[in-house]
Amino acid sequence: MNDGKPQVAPAVFGGTHSVVGGEGLRQRAQDQPDLERWMRQCIGLARVAKERGDPPVGCVIVRDGAVVAEGIEAGRTKGDVTCHAEVEAIRAARRLLGRADLSDCTLVTTHEPCILCSYVIRHHRIARVVLGLETGEIGGYSSALPVLADTTIKR
Give residue 16's Cα distance to chain centre: 12
Does residue 86 have an active-site annotation?
A: yes
Q: Quote the pLDDT of residue 53.
A: 98
The 3-class secondary structure across 33-90, one letter per residue, is HHHHHHHHHHHHHHHHHHHCCCCCCEEEEEECCEEEEEEECCHHHHCCCCCCHHHHHH
Residue type at 136 in one-letter notation: G
Q: How crowded is the C-beta side of 34, counted as CA atoms within 13 Å?
A: 17
Q: What is the pLDDT along the chain (155 residues), one digit of tens a residue?
A: 445 544 333 334 344 445 544 444 344 545 677 888 999 999 999 999 999 999 999 999 999 999 999 999 999 999 999 999 999 999 999 999 999 999 999 999 999 999 999 999 999 999 888 888 888 789 888 888 888 888 787 76
Q: Are 60 and 101 in contact (CB under 8 A)?
A: no
From the candidates 73, 86, 88, 112, give the one annotated as an active-site residue: 86
pTM of the model: 0.83
